[in-house]
Amino acid sequence: MRDAPEHNPNQDYPTLRPSDRGWQRTLWAMVGIQFVMTGAINFLSPIIPLMLPELGVRTTEGVDIWAGVITGATSFVAAFASPIWGRVADKHGRKLALLRSSFAIALFTALMGLSTNVWQFFGARAVMGVFAGFSSAAIALVASTVPERRLGYALGWLSSGQLVGSLVGPVIGGLLADVTGSYRAPFFWCAGITCAGLVLVWAVVVEDFRPVVSTGKKPSVFAGFALITGSSGLAALFLVLLMAQLSTRTIAPVVTIFVQTLIGSPPEIATLSGIAFSITGLANLVAAPFLGNRSDIIGYRKVLLICLLGATLTSVPQIFVGSYWGFLAERFAVGLFIGGILPTANALIGRSVSRENRGTVYGMTSSATFLGNSLGPLMGGGIAAGFGIRWVFVVTALLLAGNLVWVWFTVPELREDC
């Protein structure tokens, strides 16, 4: 990764000739599929803590801890499997990786819905992580298809599809639980919709995949590790992704519990908790496409710094919020900036490596995302159980501030010609 020349602030948005637009079908197909898949998976976000008593977890402390462990189990396992699948995607195609991941999500989500105790539930969610990685495969596919100068724009829209899914998923999951009177129903709906997503990938997504010509040296899963460690910029961005996910996922297992402390346990608690999850996704949806497009113009590093600064400043008031509506307002404010962090960092990563190695590199950097996804809920559950829920918001603000400082000192901007 190299330093960039100054960007012209008066530069127009990048334009394309009509002949350049063949990549758009793949982009918009993946945006829609990402929405479907993420929405289905996020059915479960507000349900897991509420289902734990049915699985034998009786104490409040036990629910706090198990919610963190279970929420993070898939991502923890996926952190170690993702580099392997990234290398496989570069050898055999990213579309195949999407199909494999879709099938695994459908199968193991159904098994979670059939679980009769917390250990079965935990086991199904952990094993699902071995085959996970839909989002990283989607990023690699899009990043290998779109023109270089539209990478921030494309990943911003792909992130929007994911964010819309995260917006509507928890609400629909909560509504399904309330309407059916069963916390298991959302799991089977998730499995069914994920199967529909698999069919969409097979029928709609077109990948012009060309395997890398062999140079006589056998490819290795350690190639991604070498690419990351061989570039100070990529290594720095690995930690950016890790800290970003830690800061956003630490709160995940305690949102439902915190909503209960604010409003008690009305009959519609699952729906209200789902709204609290989703409001951040609504803000992400508003901001992510704009931030992705601006990053192509003013520079990825500048947008990344703006997002981290805004997220830090808007996360602090969550520590002191005393009402449900105030909590929603604070989560919306944070979401306006959180939505730009991952697509901007991923655009920096994509512009730093060749197209044929992007699956491998995104597999490695997805390990950082998965580690954050797994360790964040563990931290959140442990902090809530040991010190109280509001301390989770303190840690979130500190992680965002630390990430801001890290980017300022370690992440350079790219040159126009890279």
Query: With 50 as the cut, is the pLDDT of residue 10 above it?
Result: no
Give 308's pLDDT tier (boundaries 50, 70, 90): very high
Give 327's pLDDT tier (boundaries 50, 70, 90): very high
Segment 67-86 shows an average pLDDT of 79
Q: What is the CA radius of gyration of the chain?
A: 20
Output the CA angle 148-152-156, nearest 5 degrees: 140
Task: Report the pLDDT value the prediction gives residue 415, as an integer from 0 to 100.
Answer: 56
What sign does the dihedral 322-323-325-328 (CA atoms) show?
A: positive
Task: Report the pLDDT value the prediction gives residue 6, as an integer from 0 to 100.
Answer: 38
Query: With 50 as the cut, is the pLDDT of residue 2 above it?
Result: no
Query: What percentage of the chain carries pLDDT values higher than 70?
Result: 88
* 116, burial (CB in 10 Å: exposed 0-12, middle 13-18, buried 19+): exposed
pLDDT digits (tens, 9 = 90+) for 89-144: 777 788 888 898 899 999 999 999 999 999 999 999 989 888 877 877 888 888 88
Among 117-121, 157-161, 166-170, 216-220, the minimum mean pLDDT is found in: 216-220
User: Could you tell me if 373 and 322 are in contact, meaning their C-beta atoms sit under 8 angstroms apart?
Assistant: no
Segment 370-380 shows an average pLDDT of 82
Do you know the residue count of the chain? 418
How remote is the C-alpha of 233 from its chain's centroid?
21
Task: Report the pLDDT value the prediction gives residue 211, as an integer from 0 to 100.
Answer: 62
Segment 362-368 shows an average pLDDT of 79
User: Could you tell me if 193 and 40 are in contact, meaning their C-beta atoms sit under 8 angstroms apart?
Assistant: yes
Structure token pair of residue 310: 């805004």
Which fold would CATH assign to domain 23-208+220-410?
Growth Hormone; Chain: A; (1.20.1250)
Query: With 70 as the cut, is the pLDDT of residue 17 above it?
Result: no
Give 404's pLDDT tier (boundaries 50, 70, 90): very high
Q: How far apart are CA 71 and CA 62, in angstroms?
A: 14
Among 241, 35, 288, 26, residue whose Cα is nearest residue 147: 26
Query: With 60 as the cut, is the pLDDT of residue 70 above it?
Result: yes
pLDDT digits (tens, 9 = 90+) for 192-201: 999 998 998 8
Mean pLDDT of the chain: 81
Give 36's pLDDT tier (boundaries 50, 70, 90): confident
* 209: phi then psi, degrees, rounded to nearest 5: -90, 130
